[in-house]
Amino acid sequence: MEDWEEDEFDGPVKKFMYVNRKAPYGTVYALEGLEVVLITAAFDQDVSLVFIDDGVFQIKKDQETSGVNMKNFSPTYRALEGYEVEKVYAEKESLEARGLSEEDLVIPVEILSAAEISELMDTQDMIVSF
Amino acid sequence: MALLHTVNKSPFERNSLSDCLRRAKNGSAVLLIEDGVYGALQGTSASDEISSRDGSIKLYALGPDVDARGLSEKPLIDGLELIDYAGFVDLVEEYSSVQSWL
């Protein structure tokens, strides 16, 4: 029997960018997006994760969802490192407009300007938006 | 006859909060729920508009939605009161009708 779990992925490696633009609980986009990112990372792809607009609220620390009977999935962002997703960015303008700073976030991110994020988008093979 | 207005969308993504505030008469109440609670944050690009109505309308936000989004330690706009689900029910009873700005 083939020991498939030991196989390394040897297909092509592409540059995937995931663009997160939605707040975490009002819609299911944030949770679904996070699951897709983890799946892609499992296939050894070159993954970048970007939080812009209301997407920056996904990684706000101190989320406490027991009062609304929903799953707090914000600790899962801390698992990204274990999947070797290390290119994680948040947009400076989006944070500022929402009164947030780096200290408000649940994971370390690289803060980029909108212009820098535009440049990064240009270098991708695939952009997936949530 | 005063209305209770509810807003459940982020002010950074939709115009619901502005649309509501433009129509909310003095003496009415605005309750922020779900993603609407982002409108309760102090010091944002959306906060001046709602802050300017403090005193003329009552401002509330639903505490469990504030906590879920990790905003409990952030400064909220002056005059805004946090309520729980029972408080929501009390407001519905207190005001003549509810207008939901979906």
Whether A4 is in a domain gets the answer no
Q: Which domains does chain B have, with CATH numbers?
A: 3-101 (3.40.1260.10)
Whether A6 is in a domain gets the answer no
Asked if B12's CB is within 8 angstroms of A98's CB, the reply is: yes
CATH number of the domain enclosing A66: 3.40.1260.10
Provide the whole-model pTM: 0.93
Question: ipTM of this predicted complex?
Answer: 0.93
Residue A56 CA to residue A50 CA, distance in Å, equals 9
> What's the number of domains chain A is made of?
1
Report yes or no: B4 and B98 within 8 Å, Cβ to Cβ.
Answer: yes
Predicted local confidence at residue A66, as pLDDT: 97
Predicted local confidence at residue A3, as pLDDT: 55
Q: Which residues of B touch A68 (CB under 8 A)?
A: 64-65, 67-68
Among partner residues A57, A63, A74, which is closest to B38 by beta-carbon distance?
A57
Whether A117 is in a domain gets the answer yes
Residue A106 CA to residue A93 CA, distance in Å, equals 18
- The tens digit of pLDDT for each residue in A83-101 reads 999 999 999 999 999 999 9
Whether A7 is in a domain gets the answer no
Q: Is A129 helix (H, G, I), strand (E, B) or coil?
A: strand
